[in-house]
Amino acid sequence: MSELPEKDYTVSYLGPRIRIATVVMLLGVALLAARLWQLQFVQRESFTEMSLSNRVRLLRLPPSRGKILDASGNVIAENSPSFTFSIVPGELKDQQEVIHACAPILGITPERMRGLIERSRSVPRFMSYPIKKNMTLEEVSLLKSHVSDLRGVEVDIKPRRMYPWGETLCHAIGTLGEISVDELSKGPRLGYRGGDIVGKSGIEKEYEGYLKGEEGWEQIEIDAKGRQLGIRGRKAPRNGADIVLTIDAPFQSYVEEVFIHRAGSVVAVDPDTGNVLAMVSKPGFDLNLFSPSITERQWKRLKSDSLHPLENRAIRGLYSPASTFKVVTAAAGLAEKVVDTETKFSCAGEMELRGQIYRCWNPYGHGKVALNRAIVESCDVYFYELGLRLGGDRIAHYASLFGLGQPTGISLPQELPGLLPNTAWKLRTYGEPWKEGESVTLAIGQGYLVSSPLQLAMMTAALANGGKLLRPSIVSQVVGPDGTPIFKQSPLIRNTVNLSPDHWAILRSALGNVVQDRRGTGKKCRIPGLNVKAKTGTSQVMRVKQRTTEEDQIPYHERTHAIFIAYVDDQPKKLALAVIVEHGGGGGASAGPIARKIIARYYGMPDPGDPPE
């Protein structure tokens, strides 16, 4: 019997295992291929960025913001070194360790710092994001010992804005602040990033494009531990241009010092050029509060102040010009041949028109009054009569020639135009025709009419220079970082008030008598040796039915505003100014002495004090 062939148990036993191993190997190769494909194609950009971050970092090199100088070269705004602690989100490895080590030194709560780190993720991964600015030297020295051991943090030096004159010229200079999300999304904000400091108001805002300069950059090579290996490329920053003002800081400081009242404004200009020589708005604030950033408590205090210290009254305060406007009405009356120097109206202390009583400031009246005496003693009834004969539209026309109710064109942001009413405006606004009584009130600078202190100063300048309405200038030139002027300001005539030489002589004589005549309402501005010409005004805040209440017995916010305009036109250097004292009472009594002190200082004369009664 033949033997059966022996069965190969080895093959039958190993065969399944080989197949399983083959499948496992194939799966492994497939997974490896899939992972390689993911790394090569799907995550290539992410790993490329990570690889570069371990080799090259781009650092921003901020420019030095341009200085602001006064007319004599005194520094009004400049820069000083400031230390900033920043996060580089792309290099931050241990967030909790950074918070634990740095928050106590910085004086920031862990929650606050965690929130700031989260905000830093909105910037490019390898750009620095400021966490705390303006650190003390003690904080810097303590952090330096930690920064070298932590990834993604750095302490760098950035410029801080400083204002050596503090509150002086605060509203005109303006403030700086961190750029907002809205500012980044609106307008041509090329080169700006979150955390950048930009002008928020005043000259700092208006001349931002010149002041900010051009940012530079530096590429540094680092190893995986963040240590610097070398510099691969660099573009130096270009510093901002300097702004040179028309204002002399010591003179400005003096004007602010003599304005002892709670609120108001002073604007002084050169009537030949339109250059602003002083611009005061009271109350004010210390510009250094905003550098590098104002605290929430300080901000709330300024915002909640009932006197509104952040408001630039010189260009945004709107007041009825009151009797200072009588010069405009007089000019219109002469030019339109409605009156001459001999024309007289009778003042018995009041005038009745269609059952309405219009009172003169003098309840006893002035008797028969011609133009010169009407201006000198500020007789209301004379100008009521003149206003009736002129009508609202002719008065408004001459007021527009003097620049009232329209922007002056000064290079400061947010100027308000005021309001100059006429018959068309009344019909358009209220759907009602103009009334004769509105011509009466307009003639003495009351009613709907409101203007800014700067407008009144430029009106006064036009009186001083013979009718040229100039654009006011607060910046004389912009100078590049290399010292080369970028541009220089030149006088610009906006309008011309065409009066005959005789009419100008009549107005000049009357305005001079306002100060020199013993009955003149502006006699408190008398300065021996100077021919000061002026006009007073007392602007009503509320309608007054009787004039028997003493001013100091009236609540502060119901008192009249004191207004005074003055000029000197017969000296080698000329001056025109407007003074407004909010709720200050009579213009001659309250604002006149301030104008006298300013004029005496400008011409280097001693203040003679108030004349004897």
Q: Give the residue numbers marked as catalytic.
A: 323
Instruction: Tell me the three state secondary structure of residue 162.
Output: strand
Cβ-based neighbour number of residue 21 at 10 Å: 11
Q: How far apart are the first and last CA of the chain?
A: 162
Residues in the chain: 613
Cβ-based neighbour number of residue 108 at 10 Å: 18
Nearest-angstrom CA–CA distance, 445 and 94: 70
Contact 562, 587 (CB under 8 A): yes
Contact 262, 283 (CB under 8 A): yes
Which of 268, 271, 266, 270 minimizes the C-alpha distance to 464?
271
Cβ-based neighbour number of residue 298 at 10 Å: 14
Contact 597, 278 (CB under 8 A): no
List, in sequence order, every residue forming a beta bridge with 60; answer none if it has no partner.
Answer: 217
List, in sequence order, every residue forming a beta bridge with 162; answer none if it has no partner.
Answer: 78
Which of 258, 267, 261, 362 minimizes the C-alpha distance to 312?
267
**Angle subtended at Cα 198 by Cα 194 and Cα 203, rounded to the nearest 5 degrees:** 170
List, in sequence order, every residue forming a beta bridge with 369; answer none if it has no partner.
Answer: 345
Nearest-angstrom CA–CA distance, 613 and 602: 26
Which of 501, 500, 520, 499 minimizes the C-alpha distance to 511?
520
Contact 431, 495 (CB under 8 A): no
Helix, strand and coil percent figures for the chain, each rounded to 5: 40, 20, 40
Could you give the C-alpha distances from 178 to 67, 195, 199, 205, 592, in angstroms and in order? 19, 6, 9, 12, 42
Residue 387 has φ and ψ, to the nearest 5°, of -60, -40
Q: How many helices (H) and strands (E) does the chain have?
A: 21, 23
Contact 157, 59 (CB under 8 A): no
Q: Which H or E run contains 468?
A: strand 468-470
Which are the contacts of 131, defined by CB distance < 8 A and separation ≥ 6? Answer: 85, 86, 87, 106, 108, 113, 116, 117, 120
Which are the contacts of 447, defined by CB distance < 8 A and separation ≥ 6? Answer: 320, 421, 438, 441
